[in-house]
Amino acid sequence: MALGFGSAEAFAARKAKKPRWEISCRDNLLATFGAKSCWEAMDRLGISAVEASSPRGFQSNNFFSDEKKYDLTNDAGIKELKKDLKAEKKHVSAFLMGNTLEQDLVEELKYAEMVVNAAEILKVPAIRIDVYPSKSSKEDFLPIAINACKKLCDLVKGTKIRYAIENHGGVTNDPLFLDRLFDGVGSDRLGLTLDTANFYWYGHPLNDIYGIFERYAGKAFHTHCKSIKYPEDKRNSERPMGWEYGKYAAPIDEGDIDFEKFAQIMKAAKYKADMCLENEIVGRLKTPEERFAELKREIDYLARVTSI
């Protein structure tokens, strides 16, 4: 008897097959289950890549051990991290910036220069960025965002680095805004951190989000893999933005989003970067053992469904 594509038997049959894409996770997850170092945490999870936060100042980051902290504001600190990444056979799949593009753009570009410098030294291919207004309306923010993104793209000319806007909040989850932004900037250095749950969080019906994935899969330079499990009568209706997310956020193997279908869409688009687990509910679990089991199960699931 033929195995169903999504059946447990089909999962088992594909278990040993290597995932098409590297599996990674957000670096903030590494300290949630009691590992003594970020390297031990990655080894236990069975991953070799991580998306690394790059906050302003770049001295606070989630690479940790009993022995050292890494100051990424200078080349010496970056090279120290590079040496340890090589020794541990790990790498950074993306940096994560927290941008405020309509504030002081001069300072914003200095911040970006620091992250780009680290990305060049560490050979990080993508930088996730925020494109979100803090005070303007969506319409007023669009030309501000276009101008800022053009200047950001100028910083990476001559490099292999690309920026990946995360679709989140009330602006970049709107496909019309995204299309106008990409068209306005007109650079192949600007793409998307395709967050699988955020379009759904925004209120798009479940049946519609696969078309949105298809629309932007070719612009994806990075991903955030997470899910939501809404009541059945809410899945294919338009919901208020962010409706009951805290209640219904779910592990990727239990939520509404079909990750096998997502993987097929990304395969068709010839996506080449990582599949990055983002879990925003692991804090609900009380013990380190429970949190580790949750994250390990999701990473293993992501590896299975992307073995296509």
Q: With respect to residue 2, please indicate whether it lies within any of the assigned structural domains.
A: no
265-281 pLDDT, tens digit each? 999 999 999 999 999 99
Q: Is the pLDDT of residue 213 over 80?
A: yes
List of residues 6+ apart from 158 with CB closer than 8 A:
none
Average pLDDT over every residue of 204-208:
98
Closest by alpha carbon to 271, among 65, 44, 19? 19
Sign of CA dihedral 227, 230, 235, 238: negative
By the 8 A CB rule, do 156 and 214 touch? no
d(C-alpha 186, C-alpha 150), whole Å: 8
Q: Is the pLDDT of residue 33 over 70?
A: yes
Q: Is the pLDDT of residue 2 over 80?
A: no
Q: With respect to residue 301, please indicate whether it lies within any of the assigned structural domains.
A: yes
d(C-alpha 136, C-alpha 226), whole Å: 29
Q: Which of 8-17, 44-53, 151-160, 284-293 is least confident?
A: 8-17
Average pLDDT over every residue of 161-165:
98
By the 8 A CB rule, do 298 and 47 touch? no
Q: With respect to residue 246, please indicate whether it lies within any of the assigned structural domains.
A: yes
Enumerate the H helices of the chain as residue ranges.
8-14, 38-45, 75-88, 105-122, 138-155, 175-185, 198-202, 206-216, 232-235, 245-248, 259-268, 288-305
Residue with tokens 């209706």: 237
Q: What is the mean pLDDT of the chain?
A: 93
List of residues 6+ apart from 292 with CB closer than 8 A:
32, 33, 34, 44, 45
Average pLDDT over every residue of 228-237:
97
Q: What is the CATH number of the domain that holds 280?
A: 3.20.20.150
Confidence of residue 224 (pLDDT cuts 50, 70, 90): very high
d(C-alpha 135, C-alpha 214), whole Å: 31
Domain that holds residue 161: 8-305
Q: With respect to residue 1, please indicate whether it lies within any of the assigned structural domains.
A: no
Closest by alpha carbon to 220, among 94, 308, 114, 97? 94
Confidence of residue 11 (pLDDT cuts 50, 70, 90): low
DSSP string of 219-267? GEEEEEB-EE---HHHHTS---TTTTHHHHEE-TTTSSS-HHHHHHHHH
For residue 151, the tally of other CB atoms under 10 A from its CB is 16
List of residues 6+ apart from 247 with CB closer than 8 A:
none
List of residues 6+ apart from 32 with CB closer than 8 A:
282, 283, 288, 291, 292, 295
* pTM, 2 dp: 0.92
Query: What does the pLDDT read at residue 67?
Result: 73
Average pLDDT over every residue of 197-211:
98
Tally of structural domains, the chain: 1
Query: What does the pLDDT read at residue 12?
Result: 55
* Residues in the chain, overall count: 308
Q: With respect to residue 3, please indicate whether it lies within any of the assigned structural domains.
A: no
d(C-alpha 26, C-alpha 30), whole Å: 8
Q: Is the pLDDT of residue 31 over 90?
A: yes
Q: Is the pLDDT of residue 182 over 50?
A: yes
Q: What percent of the chain has pLDDT over 70?
A: 95
Query: What does the pLDDT read at residue 68?
Result: 79
103-141 pLDDT, tens digit each? 999 999 999 999 999 999 999 999 999 999 989 999 999
